[in-house]
């Protein structure tokens, strides 16, 4: 594997050069320490991605990259539909449009100080979390169809949130080109009782406090101030997305030969963008994106209601909602000319810079908020998209801390109760239906999110705006 050894290009950019059947290089954004901490599988997986038909410029590995399925988690790759480019179900992953949204409250630390336990309990009772939890909404065939086509807009029309929220969601809350008819009966069946649920694993709802401002102008544009209280929600498209991923992965594996695609790894299952299967997946995946945005919209309204029971009149304004497991059709300048590309971001956040036409007017001067979740006990960060990121990595940045340790190793190192008690001693309240789940998600099982964010900032993938620390974490 010597030929896959990255060589340093810059302060925090490394490259595995193109060679043989790899027409474009792999670019890795990391400092020495993060690079050394990356599993060799990251390099192998990113190199495999560059073997897929129609890849443009490079496969990029974000600073939080780790060993995934087919694509590394933290992988970005763009494909040109006019040059045989593909769409990969593995490149999006099972949790289609898993993402983060952040709400800015008008509460002060003083106002919540004596009410934290009550707020934690209220949120825990209001937000369905963990395996087997069901939502308050049960969708029949017609409602499912409308949700898959309408996304967060559908949720707003059903009374979950307001029109103002939609402008603060990618695609204005409704992914165009969704094809509900491409979503199977089984995928719908998995979602019937799961709308408005958080899920489990690394998904969470956190009440947070801004504890450092790095970019005062952008922070002001985002409505962030030191000490301010925020809420962040991390979850995805639930069972529906998982089932779409499962089914298309298999169909793409079986069809690869027919399309003349040699898969370096079956998990990289893909189909040409202009093929019937590629188009069908695209339509189903976009419906999955709508499901995820609708899900986060419903959870937002449940959160607002829980807050209002503890703090009557409290306002929770949506800062932004951004997904980090997607394939999006976007125009990017490559070698000086604009090209229509399909950008896969698997565990990577879109990060449009200032002035981008897709951003709502209020966010255009500062650039898109880039929401980076940390682990339960550490900080999270809010960054902003910057112009440099387009030429670096199709306007993409990291998405989180990234695991440093497997779940099994984590449960051998910590007990759930111990993690809850230690965090409580540091003023962080955890509410979870599963203590083993908490142990698997122990803060020590994750990489240092600050180091990841620092590299993203230095490399020019996105710029730091604020650091936030958790006060309450509802863990699935």
Partner 1 sequence: MDQAHWEHFQHQADVGVRGIGTSMAEAFEQAALALTAVVTDPRRVQPRQAVELDCRAPDPELLLVDWLNGLIYEMATRRLLFSRFRVDLRGETLQGTAWGEPLDPRRHRPAVEVKGATYTELAVRQRDDGCWVAQCVVDV
Nearer to partner 1, 143 or 212 (CB): 143
Nearest-approach distance from CB 427 to partner 1, in angstroms: 26
Catalytic residue among 234, 332, 399, 457: 399
Single out the residue of 437, 443, 460, 470 in contact with partner 1 (rule: CB under 8 A).
437
To the nearest whole angstrom, how small is the minimum distance from the Cβ of residue 132 to partner 1?
Answer: 4
Shortest distance, position 408 Cβ to partner 1, whole Å? 6
**Closest to 239 measured CA to CA, from 134, 331, 334:** 134
**Is position 101 an interface residue for partner 1 (rule: CB under 8 A)?**
no
CB of 238 to partner 1, least distance (A): 9
CB atoms within 10 A of CB 103: 24
Q: Are 471 and 116 in contact (CB under 8 A)?
A: yes
State yes or no: residue 108 binds partner 1 (CB under 8 A): no
8 A C-beta contact, residue 383 and residue 462: yes
Q: Which of 88, 126, 232, 243 touches partner 1 (CB under 8 A)?
A: 243
Contact 377, 426 (CB under 8 A): yes
Compute how many residues bind partner 1; rule: CB under 8 A: 49
Sequence-ordered strand ranges (E) for 80-219 = 86-88, 99-105, 204-213
Binds partner 1 by CB under 8 A, chosen from 22, 190, 234, 346: 190
Between helices 276-310 and 238-255, what is the axis angle to 10°?
A: 170
Find the binder of partner 1 among 258, 409, 417, 424 (CB under 8 A).
Answer: 409
Task: For residue 373, give Cα distances in angstroms to 161, 448, 467.
Answer: 23, 11, 10
In the chain, DSSP finds a helix count (H) and a strand count (E) of: 16, 19
Rule CB under 8 A: say whether 40 interacts with partner 1: no
Q: In whole angstroms, how close is the CB of 388 to partner 1 at the nearest point?
A: 29
- How many angstroms from the chain centroid is the CA of residue 57? 23
Contacts of 143 (CB under 8 A, 6+ apart): none
Which range in 25-33, 101-109, 420-428, 436-444 contacts partner 1 by CB under 8 A?
436-444
The nearer residue to partner 1, 6 or 199, going by C-beta atoms, is 199
Please report whether residue 34 would count as binding partner 1 according to CB under 8 A: no
Measured CA distances, 459 to 39, 65, 326, 467 (Å): 21, 15, 23, 18
**What φ, ψ does residue 53 adopt, rounded to 5°?**
-60, 140
The yes-or-no answer on residue 242 being catalytic is no
Q: Per rule CB under 8 A, is residue 217 in the interface with partner 1?
A: no
Looking at the annotation, which residues are catalytic?
399
The residues binding partner 1 (CB under 8 A) are: 39, 41, 66-70, 73, 90, 93-95, 130-132, 186, 189-190, 192, 199-201, 239, 242-243, 245-246, 249-250, 253-254, 265-267, 269, 402-403, 405-409, 433-437, 440, 476
């Amino acid at each position: 594997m010597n030929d896959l050894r990255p060589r340093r290009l810059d302060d925090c950019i490394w490259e595995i050069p193109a060679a043989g059947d790899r027409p474009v290089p792999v670019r890795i954004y990391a400092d020495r320490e993060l690079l050394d901490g990356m599993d060799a599988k990251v390099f192998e997986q990113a190199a495999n991605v560059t073997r897929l038909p129609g890849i443009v410029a490079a496969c990029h590995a974000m600073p939080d990259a780790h060993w995934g399925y087919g694509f590394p988690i933290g992988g970005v790759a763009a494909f040109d539909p006019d040059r045989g480019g593909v769409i990969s179900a593995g490149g999006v992953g099972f949790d289609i449009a898993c993402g983060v949204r952040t709400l800015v409250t008008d509460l002060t630390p003083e106002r919540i100080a004596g009410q934290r336990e009550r707020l934690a309990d209220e949120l825990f009772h209001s937000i369905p979390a963990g395996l087997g939890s069901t939502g308050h909404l049960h969708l029949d065939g017609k409602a499912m169809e409308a949700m898959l086509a309408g996304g967060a807009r559908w949720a707003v029309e059903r009374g979950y949130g307001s029109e103002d929220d939609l402008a603060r969601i990618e695609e204005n809350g409704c992914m165009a080109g969704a094809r509900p008819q491409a979503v199977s009966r089984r995928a719908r069946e998995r979602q019937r009782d799961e709308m408005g649920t958080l899920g489990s694993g690394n998904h969470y709802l956190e009440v947070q406090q801004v504890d450092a401002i790095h970019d005062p102008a952008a922070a002001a544009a985002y409505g962030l101030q030191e000490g301010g209280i925020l809420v962040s929600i991390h979850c995805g498209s639930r069972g529906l997305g998982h089932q779409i991923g499962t089914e298309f992965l298999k169909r793409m594996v079986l069809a690869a030969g027919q399309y003349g695609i040699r898969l370096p790894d079956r998990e990289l299952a893909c189909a040409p963008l202009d093929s019937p299967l590629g188009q069908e997946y695209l339509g189903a995946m976009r419906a999955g994106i709508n499901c995820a945005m609708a899900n986060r919209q419903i959870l937002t309204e449940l959160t607002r209601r829980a807050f209002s029971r503890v703090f009557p009149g409290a306002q929770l304004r949506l800062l932004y909602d951004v997904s980090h497991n997607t394939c999006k059709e976007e125009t990017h300048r490559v070698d000086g000319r604009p090209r229509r590309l399909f950008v896969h971001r698997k565990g990577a956040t879109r990060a449009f810079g200032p002035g981008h036409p897709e951003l709502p007017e209020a966010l255009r001067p500062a650039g898109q908020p880039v929401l980076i979740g940390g682990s339960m006990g550490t900080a999270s960060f809010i960054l902003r998209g910057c112009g440099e990121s387009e030429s670096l990595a199709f306007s993409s940045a990291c998405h989180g801390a990234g695991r440093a340790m497997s779940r099994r190793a984590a449960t051998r190192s910590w007990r759930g109760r111990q993690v809850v008690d230690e965090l409580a001693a540091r003023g962080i309240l955890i509410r979870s239906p599963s203590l083993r789940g908490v142990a698997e998600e122990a803060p020590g099982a994750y990489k240092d999110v600050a180091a990841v964010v620092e590299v993203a900032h230095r490399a020019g993938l996105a710029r730091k705006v604020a650091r936030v620390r958790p006060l309450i974490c509802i863990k699935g």
